Amino acid sequence: MKTVLDKRKIRALMHRQGINTQKKLAQKMSITENQLSVILSNDFSPLKTSTVKLMDILGQDVLDAITIKKQDLSHKKTNVNPAFPDGTIDVTKIKPKSQFNVLELFAGAGGLALGLEEAGFNDVGLLEFDKDACQTLRLNRPNWNVIEEDITKVTSDPKGVYNYIPKGTEIDLLSGGYPCQAFSYAGKKLGMEDTRGTLFYHYAKIMEQVKPKMFLVENVRGLTTHDHGRTLKTMIQVFENLGYKTTYQVLNAWDHGVAEKRERMVLVGIRNDLNITFQYPNKHDYKPVLKDVLQDVPDSAGMLYSEAKRKVMELVPAGGYWRDLPEAVAKSYMGKSYYSGGGRTGMARRISWDEPSLTLTTSPNQKQTERCHPDETRPFTTREYARIQSFPDSWQFSGGVGSIYKQIGNAVAVNFGKEIALAIINSLNQTV
């Protein structure tokens, strides 16, 4: 049984909401007009394959069984902590009133570090294990204290991180994005011991040692739902046990001066003895797209498609993806994925000049995560990757091509990091 969206009913619903054009509807949905046209086409099924199969067996009355179930939020803890008032702040004119020190863990290639620096923070140490990323940091900032070490070795020593930074250094901010890992829940204590064996445990141990005024964690959106939310709940409990009040939100880098749809969870904590407040930065009125950031990009190395893949991608228009391919080509290219549920909009995806990039991954030519140039049939080059992630052209990367893609894909977008950093400086200014 085939299911499609009734365009007449969609237009009536648009009129009811005061939306007069598909362009305006696409903007509200944060998608391109091309993507919206695909959704409204007679070839697009709004229902998952399994639901359509259910209709084939039981008939279209299955649709009558679809109900809207409102989420019961009564059991959820409401954030009434005065340290985190509602609303956002304009960070454009914020400047540090004093020198604020930051210690960064899992520093990577320096996206967050550069954003922190541009906001006005003083880096006292950047801990990173990957040798190419460490060399990238040293290449660009010879004066930075790059700590090339396994964090587990740092925390296992009685002196801890003070083996690498001067004893007594006041840490205003501890930052870093540790990998998301499950916990044991031994005894369901939701404490530090439940997190042993994870890199979060070592982040928390360093926090326990240096007792920063504030801390920042940037991580994937999926952390908020990982293991049904229990992973994040454990982390927050550990932070609270260490003497911090916390708040978190999922933010999109596209709202903060980055030409990329990149959703990240941003968790911020304030030490309990400090009577200060924190608010997240305002969203930008204008959100950049590829044509804003990919002009006059310096030449650089980049991966190429295989000849077979290039022939497929040649058929995809800017802003399009696998649904724009001839059916026979799409079936051959996608294999079993062609018949699975979901939109799979990252497959055979060519970005247009008038939209932001999808989230950059650590490899630009994998079948599930293509990021094809708008005009040329190739992945973005490493320098284009860096531009999209808002790195300046002066920021150089060490290592081979694969390593550079990985460093940039794993990085915090610089402009995004800077705006979060400025919001934190606004809080730290209250301590001066």
Q: Is the dihedral of CA 90, 96, 102, 107 positive or negative?
A: positive
Q: Where are the alpha helices (DSSP H) in 258-356?
A: 290-293, 307-313, 327-334
Tokens representing residue 286 in the block = 């204008």
Q: Where are the alpha helices (DSSP H) in 230-367?
A: 230-241, 290-293, 307-313, 327-334
Tokens representing residue 409 in the block = 């894909």
Catalytic annotation on 180? yes
Type of residue found at 331: K
Rounded Cα gap, residues 101 and 124, in angstroms: 6
Pick the catalytic residue: 180, 404, 411, 425?
A: 180
| Pairing verdict, β 263-271 and 244-252 | antiparallel
3-class DSSP assignment, residue 214: strand
Residue 312 neighbours by CB distance under 10 Å? 22
DSSP letter, residue 148: E
DSSP letter, residue 47: S
Type of residue found at 370: E
DSSP letter, residue 315: T
Q: Which of 356, 365, 428, 358 is nearest to 402 (CA)?
A: 365
Q: Which of 288, 271, 287, 270 is nearest to 279 (CA)?
A: 270
DSSP letter, residue 357: B
Rounded Cα gap, residues 230 and 378, in angstroms: 41
H or E element in which residue 267 lies: strand 263-271
Tokens representing residue 108 in the block = 């990577």
Rounded Cα gap, residues 26 and 251, in angstroms: 20
3-class DSSP assignment, residue 125: strand
3-class DSSP assignment, residue 409: helix
| Pairing verdict, β 214-220 and 244-252 | unpaired
Which are the catalytic amino acids? 180
